[in-house]
Amino acid sequence: MTDDSVALYRRLVETNSCTPEEQAGPDAGVCPACQRKTLHQICHECMNPQCPDRLIAFAAERLRISTETEVSWCLRDRYHVSEAEAAEIIRQTKETDHDAD
């Protein structure tokens, strides 16, 4: 990375005004789940907070320790999804967990 790109990254992070694409970096990859260029250039994790894979991963983690109602509330509060979208994310999460068995 050049000094200019480091300075730009620092400014974006400090001001918290960067898009998921900017956060992912100039050499980011395209996320197969959300189809945005938000796969971080170093860690290869999607930086899009609305990415379906991130939402399902969040729900799977929470379902291990919380009820579906609590997970639904967290999804709606943290990710600003509708009640129907939260229910669908939970359904997909449970389906994915079942497929892994």
DSSP string, 19-81: -HHHHH-TTPBPPTTT-SS-B-TTT--B--TT-HHHHHHHHHHHHTTS-HHHHHHHHHHHH--
Name the band, by pLDDT with cuts 50, 70 and 90, for residue 60. Answer: very high
- Residue-wise pLDDT for 25-42, tens only, equals 999 999 999 999 999 999
pLDDT, residue 100, reads 57
pLDDT, residue 6, reads 75
Q: Where are the domains of the chain?
A: 1-47, 52-100
Indicate the pTM of the whole model: 0.67
Residue 82 has pLDDT above 70, yes or no: yes
